[in-house]
Amino acid sequence: MNKLGLHRVVRSEIDLLVAQELLSPAQAARVRERYPTEPWDLSSLARWFTVLGAVTSGAGLLLLGAQMDAWRTLLEVVLVGAVVGLLGLGRWLARSRRMTRSGAALELLAGFALQGLTIALATHYSVGTKNWPGLVGVDAALLLALAYVLGNRLLLVHALVNLFFFVGGETGYVSGWGMYWLGLTYPLRFLGISLAVLGVAWLHGRLGRDAWRAFSRVYLHSGLLGVHLSLWFLSVFGLLGADHPGWSAGEGERVAFSALWAAASMASVWLAGRTGVATLRAYAVTFFVIDCYTFYFQFVAARSAVLWWLHLLLVGGSLVLLALRVERRRAMMSASAPRASG
Amino acid sequence: MPSSEVKQRLAEDVAIWQADGIIDAATRAALRARYDTPGFELVTAVKYLGIAGGALAGLGLLGLVAAVSESEALASVMLAAVGALLAWAGLRLGRDPLARYVHTSKVVVALGVVGWASGLGLGANALPLDDFQVSFAVGLGVVPLAIAVAYREKNWFLLLLATLALFHWVGSWSGMLGSSTYSFEIQDPRVMAVIALGVHGFGVWHERRLELPGFHLVYQVTALVYLDLSLLILSILPTSTAGIYVAVLTIAALGQIVAGARLKSRLIMGFGVATFGVDLFTRYFEHMWNVVSLGLLLVLGGAMIMAFGVLVERSCRAWAER
C-alpha cells in the first residue's frame, strides 16, 4: 500500500475511533494532521522550515555573541530586545493566530538569542576565570526553565544539547581534513546520566501536566543516544576513556563492553516489543550494526592470525542453527495446534 | 478491521501519540489492545537470533578471508564453494512447503552470498589483474546475481547487501583507522551522486508500482546516504569548486524536505533535515573565524528560511479554516 492509501485508511480508522468515543474530536484533529491526504504535507513543511530557519539564525547569533569585538553594548541591547520580542511574537502567533509551529520556532530562536546574550555578557564582563563549561551549564539551566515555563519541546532539546556539552561532550569539524570528531570525557559518567535521563522520560510519560508529558519523547531520544554513545566509547577506549593518555584498555575489557553494548541493544528490542515503543528498537538496531562494524575492525581484522574468525564462525553459525531449529519447531507446533483444537 | 499493515503502523504510532501528550495511558492501552500488538513473541526472538548469528558468522567469514589470504587460489575456490552451498541451502529452506524457515532461510542465503563474493574477490586477486579490474570482475559476478536472487526470493535483506555492494562497486570505501577513527571515501563523488539520484528515482517508482515490502526503502535509504555524502564531500574538496557545491548541497537538502512534503515521505524529509544540519555544522566550523560575515549570513539566511515556513503555516491555517 502506498503512503496516500495508507493515510486514507488511517484517517477513516480515526473517524471510527471518534464515533466509538475512544478519541475526542480535538484529539482526532491533532492525530489526523499526521496522516496527510492532501497533495502537500504542509504542516511538516512548515515545521521543518521554521525549525531549521531558527537553528540557522540561532547559530549566527551565537557566533556574533561569542566573537564580535566591536559594538558590544549595542549587541547586548539588541539581543535583550530580540529575546523579549521573539518570545512575545511567538506567544501571539501561537495563541491569537493558532500558528503553533511558527510560535514554537520563534521561542527556540529566543532561546538562542538568550544564549548569545549570556555569552556576550560573559565576554564583555569577564573576570578571567575562563570557566566556559560553567557558562554552558548556566545556559542549560536557563533554557530548561524556559522550556518548562513555555511548555516548548524545541527549547528542551536546546537545553539538553547544552547539558551534553556541560557534562563533558565535545564535537567539531577539522577544516581542510574533512574530519568530524566527537568526544566524551568519562563515558561511564555519561552512561549514568543517560540512564537517569531515561528515568525522567519514564516519569514524564506517567506523571505531570499534558504539556510536560510531551517532553517524554525528547528525554527518551536523548537518553537512548547517550546510552549508546557511551557504550560505543567504552567499547573503543575502555573504562577510563581517552582522558588518560597513559591508560590503554585491555582487549578483554573492550570485548566485555562490546558484549554489554550488544546485550543493551537486544534488551532494547525486547523492551520495544513489551512496551510498543518503536524508538527503542530503532536505536537498538542502528547501534547494533555499528557495534558489529566496530567489533570487526577492532578484533577480527586485527587478530585474524589467532583464529578470531573461527570463534565467530562457530558462535554465529551455532546461533543460526539454533534459530533454524527453534523456527522449525514453532512452525510444526502452530501447524498441529488447529488440528488439536479442531 | 484494518489490514495488518495499518494495524502495525497504528500499534507503533499510538505510543507516539501518548508521548506527544495527545492521548492518556488508558486510551493508549485500549488502542493497543484493539490493534492486537504481538509484543515480543518467539518469532521475534528467532528473527533476531538468526540476524545476530548471521552477522557474527558473516564477520567470521571475512576474518577467514583475512587469515587465508596468503593462499588465495585455494581459499577462493573453498570460499566460493561454501558460499554457493550456503546460498543453495538457504533457498531450499525458504521453499519449505510447511514454511518452517521463513526468517532463518533469509539469513543463510545472505551468508552464502557474502561467502560467494569473498571467494570471487580472493580469486580475482590471485589473477594478474589491477585493482580496478578486480573490483569490476567481483562486482559483475556478485551484484546482478544477488539482485536477481533477492527479487526471486523477495528477500529485502539480500537486496540491501546487493545495493551496498553496487555503491561500493561504483567506487566507495569505508573502514576504521586506528582505534577510534572511522573513515569514508568516494572515488568520484560526481558520478556517485548521479547514480544515487537514479537509484532513488527507481526507489520512488518502485514504491508506487510494485508491491514488494521493504524493497523501495532499501533503494531510497541507500541512495540518499550516497547522494548526500557525495555532495558533502564535493562541498569540502576540491576547494576550487567547493563554493558551488555548498550551494548545491544546501539546495539538495531543502529540496529533499520539499520532496518529502510532496511525496508524504518522512524518510526523505528526515534525510533533508539531517543533511541540512550537517551542512550547517560544517560551514559553522569551517568559517567561524570570519565572524561578522558568517554570523550575519546565518542570521539573515535562517530568517528567510523561517519566514517561508511561517508563510506555509499561515496558508495551511487559512485553508483549514475555509
The residue among B5, B8, B12, B56 with the most chain A CBs within 10 A of its CB, best to mutate, is: B56
Does pLDDT of B41 surpass 70?
no
DSSP tag of A68: -
pLDDT in the model for residue B40: 47
Euclidean distance between CA atoms A145 and A139, whole angstroms: 10
In terms of Cβ atoms closer than 10 Å to its own Cβ (0-12, 13-18, 19+), residue B170 is buried
- Domain containing B9 equals 1-37
Residues B210 and B144 in one domain: no
Asked whether residue B193 is assigned to any structural domain, the reply reads yes
Q: pLDDT band at B179, cuts 50/70/90?
A: low
Secondary structure in 3-state letters for B296-309: HHHHHHHHHHHHHH
Does pLDDT of A338 surpass 60?
no
The β-bridge partners of B173 are B185
Binary contact (B59, A319; C-beta < 8 A): no
Binary contact (A237, B309; C-beta < 8 A): no
**Residue the block writes with cell 567470521:** B60
**Residue the block writes with cell 564531500:** B233
Does pLDDT of A341 surpass 50?
no
Angle of helix B104-126 versus helix B156-171 axis, rounded to 10:
20
Binary contact (B19, A99; C-beta < 8 A): no
Asked whether residue B239 is assigned to any structural domain, the reply reads yes
Euclidean distance between CA atoms A41 and A192, whole angstroms: 40
Does pLDDT of A248 surpass 70?
no
Interface of B with A in 238-257 (CB under 8 A): 257
Interface of B with A in 196-225 (CB under 8 A): 207-208
Does pLDDT of A49 surpass 90?
yes
In this structure, the number of other CB atoms found within 10 A of the CB of residue B239 comes to: 8
Chain A residues close to B284, C-beta within 8 Å? 59, 63
Residues B27 and B53 in one domain: no
Residues A82 and A110 in one domain: yes
**Model confidence pTM above 0.90:** no
Residues B221 and B193 in one domain: yes
Residues A176 and A88 in one domain: yes
Residues B28 and B76 in one domain: no
Where do the DSSP E strands lie in chain B?
172-177, 181-186
pLDDT in the model for residue A289: 86
Provide the grid cell at A144: 530548561
Chain A residues close to B9, C-beta within 8 Å? 6, 10
- Higher-confidence position of A106 and A185: A106
Residues B210 and B160 in one domain: no
pLDDT in the model for residue A114: 96
Please identify, among B145, B172, B199, the residue that sits at the C-terminal boundary of a domain.
B172
Does pLDDT of B101 surpass 80?
no
Residues B188 and B318 in one domain: yes
* pLDDT tens-digit readout, B232-258: 999 998 888 998 999 999 999 999 999
Residues B54 and B125 in one domain: yes
Residues B144 and B198 in one domain: no
Provide the grid cell at B104: 532463518
Interface of A with B in 22-41 (CB under 8 A): 22-23, 27, 30-31, 34, 36, 39-41
Averaged over A85-89, what is the pLDDT? 96
* pLDDT tens-digit readout, B284-306: 888 766 666 788 888 999 999 99
CA dihedral B121, B122, B125, B131 (to 10 degrees): 30
Among the listed residues A235, A234, A256, A59, the one whose alpha carbon sits nearest the alpha carbon of residue A158: A59
The residue among B48, B208, B289, B308 with the most chain A CBs within 10 A of its CB, best to mutate, is: B48
Residues A60 and A156 in one domain: yes
Chain B residues close to A330, C-beta within 8 Å? 42-43, 46
Residues A126 and A154 in one domain: yes
Residues A76 and A126 in one domain: yes
Asked whether residue A25 is assigned to any structural domain, the reply reads yes
Residues B212 and B144 in one domain: no
pLDDT in the model for residue A242: 54
* pLDDT tens-digit readout, B128-144: 778 778 888 888 888 99
Among the listed residues A110, A116, A98, the one whose alpha carbon sits nearest the alpha carbon of residue A149: A110
CB A261 within 8 A of CB A286: no
Averaged over B256-274, what is the pLDDT? 93
Q: Who contacts A338 (Cβ-Cβ below 8 Å, separation ≥6)?
A: none
Provide the domain count of chain B.
Answer: 3
Given A7, A31, A311, which is nearest B264 (Cβ)?
A7
DSSP tag of A175: T
CB B123 within 8 A of CB B76: yes
* pLDDT tens-digit readout, A267-298: 998 888 788 788 998 999 899 889 988 887 88
Does pLDDT of A105 surpass 80?
yes
Euclidean distance between CA atoms B275 and B263, whole angstroms: 18
Asked whether residue B177 is assigned to any structural domain, the reply reads no
* pLDDT tens-digit readout, B188-232: 999 999 999 999 999 999 988 887 888 999 999 999 999 999 999
Please identify, among A180, A203, A221, the residue that sits at the C-terminal boundary of a domain.
A180
**Residue the block writes with cell 564477520:** B59
CB A296 within 8 A of CB B31: no
Mean per-residue pLDDT over chain B, rounded: 84
Residues B164 and B202 in one domain: no
Asked whether residue A201 is assigned to any structural domain, the reply reads no
Q: Who contacts A321 (Cβ-Cβ below 8 Å, separation ≥6)?
A: B53
Q: Who contacts B226 (Cβ-Cβ below 8 Å, separation ≥6)?
A: B167, B172, B186, B192, B193, B195, B196, B199
Sign of the Cα torsion B16, B20, B23, B29 reads: positive
CB A56 within 8 A of CB B302: yes
Residues A18 and A61 in one domain: no
- Domain containing A120 equals 54-180
Q: Looking at A107-121, A180-194, B45-59, B248-262, which range is the least confident one?
A: B45-59
Please identify, among A160, A180, A200, the residue that sits at the C-terminal boundary of a domain.
A180
* pLDDT tens-digit readout, A52-83: 999 999 999 988 888 777 788 888 999 999 99
Question: ipTM for the complex?
Answer: 0.80
Closest-CA residue of B relative to A12 is B2
